[in-house]
Amino acid sequence: MPNFFIDRPIFAWVIAIIIMLAGGLSILKLPVAQYPTIAPPAISITAMYPGADAETVQNTVTQVIEQNMNGIDHLMYMSSNGDSTGTATITLTFESGTDPDIAQVQVQNKLALATPLLPQEVQQQGISVEKASSSFLMVVGVINTNGTMNQDDISDYVGGQHEGSD
């Protein structure tokens, strides 16, 4: 058998190329389920408190919700943000391998216990619970090639452009 391919090198090359093409096409056809999950699942809670400043949102909404979220299975950490528009956002990050649907149900159950403790305005606005992506969607680098702007100027420029993109 080896002599057959030694005597016919072009035929051997054609067979090798066909095998490589078949392997390349097979890789492209692999389902996404075959790739490992890299980013841990995250659940985002958003609550609105109209007319409240950031400190009031922190004290009356964010802290109440955070205290009630303790004890959820596989919770690694949570981060929160409250702003002057009365919006509170709490992101709960779970261990890799945690089913995001089950985690979302657990968060909703704990949130149902916390809702009566929140201000009436927040209850009327409603609280949303959504699966959040904790991986990067896009990374953008901005540089100044002619040296007319320093790092602060570039930061101000990018911040102004980002705010206007809504």
* Tens digit of each residue's pLDDT (9 = 90 or more) over 24-73: 998 888 776 655 667 788 999 999 999 888 899 999 999 999 999 988 99
User: For residue 19, what pLDDT is reported?
Assistant: 96
* CATH code that applies to domain 42-132: 3.30.70.1430
Question: Per the confidence metrics, is the pTM higher than 0.95?
Answer: no
Length of the chain equals: 166
Percent of the chain with pLDDT over 70: 89
- Interatomic CA distance for residues 112 and 79, integer angstroms: 20
pLDDT averaged over the chain?
A: 85
- Interatomic CA distance for residues 24 and 41, integer angstroms: 31
- Interatomic CA distance for residues 98 and 70, integer angstroms: 16
pLDDT category of residue 136 using cuts at 50, 70 and 90: low
Sheet holding 75-82, edge to edge: 75-82, 87-94, 42-48, 127-132
* Predicted confidence (pLDDT) per residue in 86-101, tens digit: 899 999 999 888 888 9
Sole residue written with tokens 């390349």: 24
